[in-house]
Amino acid sequence: MKTIDIDKKEQQMNADRKIARTTGILFLTGTVTGILPTLFIGSNLDAPDYLTRISANGNQIMIGALFALIAAFVSGSIAISLYPVLKKYNEALALASVGFRLIEAVFYIVGIIGLLALLLLSQEFVKAGSPEASSFQLLGTLALATRNWAGFVFGVSAFSLGALMYYVVMYQSQLIPRWLSGWGVIATILTLTAALLMMFGEKPLSPLMTLLVLPIFLQEIVIAVWLIVKGFNPSAIASPSATYAVYTV
């Protein structure tokens, strides 16, 4: 009987290690694919002649949209991957984090559709001889606003709320060191602040916005490496009810 219990415990620990590694890889993938669209799209959308520039850099825009799509799918996958572990400590918050991060993915996809619509519009704009005042500018403004609001306001807000929930659970359960989960809590509050500032006209790539999102960027790299190398706290995994387990590094 004891042998069966030990084998079952060992299998559960192996499963939790796999979840930790998978989640770590997803964190890294999400961070990288979340940054690459900005590198490919660059400042094309901020220029006064953005319709002309988007048309001239169509391939870069498409590559950026592809990476953004990958990031959208990964965003929901992180919370889904964590759910089997986090539900042992707080099922409501674990489930809510999945919901918010899936909502995040939906808004990112809406933003991608806005970007692709902008690319198509820019190509038609150039074919029409780049008229100075026309319906192209109005449609371009609407498509750009859709992309910004969906991606940088609603998408980032959903991300912040979803991530905040699983960092709170990890802080309470000590699945990872409290300095790391606490860092995550603070960082997600800063990204939520950034999303709210976007509603009042702050530019996505402004120095202030960069300063607000930098902590979560660094934090997700650190937690990714931690989960891949060290995994979850064995004491917390062994005793889900012990929310104040001691983590031995």
Give the tens place of pLDDT for each residue, 104-118. 999 999 999 999 999
User: Looking at the domain assignment, is residue 192 inside a domain?
Assistant: yes
Q: Each residue of 203-223: pLDDT tens digit? A: 877 889 989 999 999 999 999
pLDDT, residue 242, reads: 45
pLDDT, residue 141, reads: 85
User: Looking at the domain assignment, is residue 113 inside a domain?
Assistant: yes
pLDDT, residue 107, reads: 96
pTM score, two decimals?
0.87
> Could you count the other beta carbons within 10 Å of the beta carbon of residue 5?
9
User: Looking at the domain assignment, is residue 101 inside a domain?
Assistant: yes
User: Looking at the domain assignment, is residue 248 inside a domain?
Assistant: no
- With contact defined as beta carbons under 8 Å apart, do 90 and 153 qualify? no
Between residues 137 and 151, the one the model is more confident about: 151
User: Looking at the domain assignment, is residue 182 inside a domain?
Assistant: yes
pLDDT, residue 6, reads: 55
User: Looking at the domain assignment, is residue 243 inside a domain?
Assistant: no
User: Looking at the domain assignment, is residue 97 inside a domain?
Assistant: yes
Structural domain tally of the chain? Answer: 1
pLDDT, residue 175, reads: 93
pLDDT, residue 22, reads: 95
User: Looking at the domain assignment, is residue 183 inside a domain?
Assistant: yes
Q: Each residue of 35-68: pLDDT tens digit? A: 898 888 877 787 778 888 888 888 999 999 999 9
Between residues 247 and 187, the one the model is more confident about: 187
- Domain of 132? 2-238
